[in-house]
Amino acid sequence: MDRYRVKPKDHVDLSKWDPNDQRAFSGDKAEGRKLLLELNETLEELQELLYAEHKHRLLVVLQAMDTGGKDGTIRHVFEGVNPQGVRVASFKRPTAEELAHDYLWRVHKQTPGKGEIVIFNRSHYEDVLVVRVHSLVPKAVWSKRYDQINAFEHTLAEEGTTILKFYLHIDLDEQKERLQARLDEPSKHWKFDPADLKERKFWPQYMEAFEDVLSKTSTPWAPWYIVPANRKWYRNLVIGTVITETLKGLKMRHPEPDFDPAEITIE
């Protein structure tokens, strides 16, 4: 999966990243889905171990354009995990209370505790994406946030949080198909937001903003992965593989009991 990891200080040009790429897997869609089921089982075991050991924390950040597949990723990659130790945090328009604090205040309190996996469905990066594209604050303000975010994530990492960040990379044509599907299928009407069409007009500006995010905030302690996401099954396979391999790398162990099981008799 290293091919999708953004090296620190690399300059990212998203036009050179193929959203249809599937070089990391030679099989077809059916084989990919079968492999994902195996990854689901492995992830379920690793998540239970993470929760039991109560030592590490995992933060998964998902960012994408509208229809990029954040919800689908959460649903398919984390299928079967114990909800007791996994939580999803979504960041919508800030509330009055949140606006009264610094922009990271609402984010910090959602970060994972020991033994927990937290998935950010959108994140603090909205404050250098939509805020930038729509000029919600001056450039002099948002341009400082890349360094602030790097420092924030560095603090989390030093305190024991493993951070994985995924940009789900789709193209303009794929977004059009997915938006149209939401209009064509009555069961998906609830997912369609006319405002998405307005945001679609800002595609070039968003690509530029994402390129800066990926170039300036992929660090050794909080790397970005640019995930080819036109093919949903391949997107899930890439993300599932990165997460499971990262958890394996933590070399977790079940905690030793503070009693001798052999000396206990249940009558």
- Confidence category of residue 80, pLDDT binned at 50, 70, 90: confident
pLDDT band at residue 93 under the 50/70/90 scheme: confident
- Confidence at 2, pLDDT banded by 50, 70, 90: very high
| φ, ψ at 12 (rounded to 5°) | -95, 130
Residue in the block written with tokens 């024991």:
160
More confident residue, 110 or 92: 110
CA-derived radius of gyration, the chain: 20
Task: Decide if 53 contacts 252 (C-beta within 8 A).
Answer: yes
pLDDT score at 1: 87
CATH fold, domain 2-251, is Rossmann fold (3.40.50)
> What is the pLDDT at residue 166?
98
Q: CA 168 to CA 61: how far, in whole Å?
A: 11
Q: Map out the domains of the chain as residue ranges.
A: 2-251
Across the chain, mean pLDDT equals: 95
Cα dihedral angle (94, 97, 103, 107), rounded to 10 degrees? -80
Residue 110 predicted with pLDDT over 90: yes
Q: Is the pLDDT of residue 260 over 90?
A: no
Query: What is the DSSP-derived secondary structure letter of residue 163?
Result: E
- Cα–Cα distance for residue pair 75/56, rounded to 1 Å: 23
Residues 152-161: tens digit of each pLDDT: 999 999 999 9
pLDDT at 263: 83
pLDDT at 258 over 90: no
Question: Among 24-38, 173-187, 220-234, 239-253, where is mean pLDDT lowest?
Answer: 24-38
Cβ-proximal residues to 44 (8 Å cutoff; 6+ apart), any chain: 80, 81, 82
Residue 72 burial by CB count (10 A; 0-12/13-18/19+): exposed, middle or buried?
middle
Q: Alpha carbon of 64 to those of 40, 54, 176, 206: distances in Å?
A: 23, 31, 15, 10
Q: Specify the pTM.
A: 0.94
Instruction: Cite the beta strand spans of 183-250 per DSSP E.
Output: 224-228
- Residue 8 binned pLDDT confidence (cut-offs 50, 70, 90): very high
Q: Kindly report the number of other CB atoms within 10 A of residue 179's CB atom.
A: 19
Q: What share of the chain is helix, strand, coil (3-state, %, to 5)?
A: 50, 10, 35
Residue that has been written with the tokens 């975010």 in this structure:
149
Q: Band of the pLDDT at 246, cuts 50, 70, 90?
A: very high
